[in-house]
Amino acid sequence: MKAISVKNVEVNYYTIKEESFSKRVLKRIKKKKFTALTNISFEVEEGSVIGIVGSNGSGKSTLLRTIANIFAPDKGEINLYGNSINLLSLGTGFDPELTGYENIFLSGMLLGFSKKFIKSKLNDIIDFSELGEFIYNPIKTYSSGMYSKLAFAIMAFLDSDILLIDEVLSVGDIHFQEKSYNKMLELIKNKKRTVLIVSHTTSTIAELCNEVIWIDKGHIKEIGKTEEVLKNYRSFMKTLKR
């Protein structure tokens, strides 16, 4: 059974190149188009754990945000077949003015959970996050490690059909990295849950993922079995360092 279908997706960014004025009229603002993803197509079966690799700026995070419906594709379409989806990424999903406690409810309700259900998981989330009294402080005062701990705790206990993990398993202290990694293994054991993981740590991808999607400069360079794709990817990355 398919969980995700991505067909011919293109995503463009626009930046202001020049802004100029005349005495009487405002000249048209010139915008520069940058194509982050081009003609991206793939399908993911339910229960698959897929790794996404690529160099910095290749389009990995843009792809996850487009699947999560944070970005709308300029072309193409994405079908989630009615599955609920959760994106775990630093800098995404929290209101910085609200406390960690308040953001638990905000995140849960955005995922479609009732306030009653979120309350039933509240102590588990707070305990797992290890934030203690900081849970009542505004998110804007959090370090990246604290932010990651809370984001992961929410994902772990308010989990959805599809989990999108963007480079957060290596954030935080060693103790929390091990704890979150073990929790990730526990979540993956659910054969109906589909997971997409973006990471520069290829050893993590090798251990967790069934298949790998390699993205380079906004294009899919290769899709296939983890061992083969990672071998080719590592060889390619070595050539860039020469």
State whether the Cα torsion 124-129-133-138 is positive or negative. negative
pLDDT in tens, the chain (242 residues): 999 999 999 999 987 655 554 544 545 556 788 999 999 999 999 999 999 999 999 999 999 999 999 899 999 999 999 998 888 776 567 899 999 999 999 988 887 889 999 999 999 999 999 999 999 999 999 988 888 889 888 888 887 899 998 876 666 678 888 888 888 888 888 888 999 999 888 998 999 999 999 999 999 999 999 999 999 999 999 887 65
Q: Is 222 exposed, middle or buried (0-12, 13-18, 19+ CB in 10 A)?
A: middle
**Domains of the chain by start residue, with CATH:** 2-83+161-241 (3.40.50.300), 95-158 (no CATH)
